[in-house]
Amino acid sequence: MRAPTVATAGDRAHVASRIAAVHRRLSGQAGGNWQAYVSLAGQDGADPLVAVCESADQRIEAYSVNKIAVAAAVLDRVDRGLLTLDQQVEVTAAIVVPGGDGIFSLDGAYPSLVTLGHALANLLTVSDDTAVRLCGLVCPAAEINQILVAKGFPNTQVQPVANPNRFFLGTSTPRETHDLLRALVGGSLISAASTEFVLRLLRSPVAFTDGVRREMSSAERARIATKAGWFADARHEAGVIFDTAGAPLVTYALFADGQSGAGDFGATHPAVQARARFGRRVLDLTDGLGGSGTVHRGQPYRPSNGG
């Protein structure tokens, strides 16, 4: 990987236009409906260049992409001293979501106690469904929504149900998801410690790899904080690509539905394949470009053989 280099505003505008062309081509090939907002870091701290803006203000079901927003609300309570990451929550048989995504439904041994930090780690890496309910135990749906509105995200809201501690993951727009991610990496969403906690999870090797990060080396994957969401015929993904020094370079919110293969939740779904090609192409197009803003250095990947 090359070190980030200085690029003129014209260079960046050209890269942004090529990113737009890649998105048009790949989304067209995948078919269905796409709502997207993608930006490229500006030169010398200038505003980001908008590369893709397609139905960016359409409010849609965000599914598990909104787990980032849920985590931000929980961590806001941590930042205010109302919760701690090492406090324990109880995993009962009644709270476990059967099947679906994650690991809490696999252990088959309840009740158990886990820390809030453990629940959040599962929420943002393997997208654990039971972890959503565990978050609800310490931050009810109404408070999640209030926190997000206060932070400037009125369209990024969970959907309350009769039980105040449970909720569906709710809605967002591509622009708001993009802006929430920009606020996260910019340090204005939650505290610096909470920000690094979230980014360490979203950039970890065990985080989602079927989409944007699929056609990449382990070092390249570590430069990308990403979260996917899927349900019915929808396949979404949003995240941030950092430059090799750790500065935010590309922010993306890619929402898609209506493609063929609604029952395929693997890497062969047309929209997921499109995102994999998009990620590889964007990484190549921005090779050598420097990002802008707060630097967030990734954690080196050190595999273990036990012991």
Q: How is residue 41 written in tokens? A: 């870091």
With bands split at pLDDT 50, 70 and 90, how would you rate the model's confidence at 1?
very low
Rounded Cα distance, 26 and 298, in Å: 29
Instruction: Pick the closest to residue 60 from 31, 36, 38 (CA basis).
Output: 36
pLDDT tops 70 at residue 31: yes
CA-based torsion, 146, 151, 152, 158: positive or negative: negative
In sequence order, the β-bridge partners of residue 50 are 39
SS3 26: helix
Torsion of CA 282, 285, 290, 293, to 10 degrees: -30
pLDDT score recorded for residue 64: 98
Q: What is the pLDDT of residue 45?
A: 84
Q: Please report which confidence band the pLDDT of residue 307 belongs to, taking 50, 70 and 90 as the band edges.
A: confident
Judged against a pLDDT cut of 90, whether residue 3 lies above it is answered with: no
d(CA 135, CA 131): 6
What's the whole-number average pLDDT of the chain? 96
Residues 135, 136, 140, 145, CA torsion sign: positive
Return the percentage of the chain with pLDDT > 90, whole number.
92
Q: According to the model, what pLDDT value does residue 29 have?
A: 98
**CA 205, CA 289: separation in Å to the nearest integer?**
24
Instruction: Give how far Cα 130 sits from Cα of 96, 102, 225, 262, Å.
Output: 5, 7, 22, 23
Residue 215 and residue 167: Cα distance in Å, rounded? 34
**Hey, which bits of the chain come out as E strands?**
33-40, 49-54, 60-61, 88-91, 112-115, 157-160, 167-172, 224-231, 234-242, 248-257
Cα dihedral value 265, 89, 301, 271, nearest 10: 20
Task: Note the pLDDT of residue 299.
Answer: 85
Say what the pLDDT of residue 99 is.
86
pLDDT in tens, 173-208: 999 999 999 999 999 999 999 999 999 999 999 999
pLDDT for 197: 98
Residues present in the chain in total = 307
Percent of the chain past pLDDT 70, that is, above it, reads: 97
Region 272-283: mean pLDDT is: 98
Average of pLDDT values for 228-246? 98
SS3 at position 280: helix
Model pLDDT, residue 100: 84
> What residues does 224 pair with on adjacent strands?
241
Cβ(202)–Cβ(185) under 8 Å?
Answer: no
Average pLDDT rounded to a whole number, residues 131-149 = 98
Question: pTM for this structure?
Answer: 0.95
CA nearest neighbour of 167 among 155, 157, 154, 153: 157
Tens digit of each residue's pLDDT (9 = 90 or more) over 53-102? 999 999 999 999 999 999 999 999 999 999 999 999 999 999 999 988 99
Residue 44's pLDDT band (cuts 50, 70, 90): confident
Structure tokens at 186: 């910019």
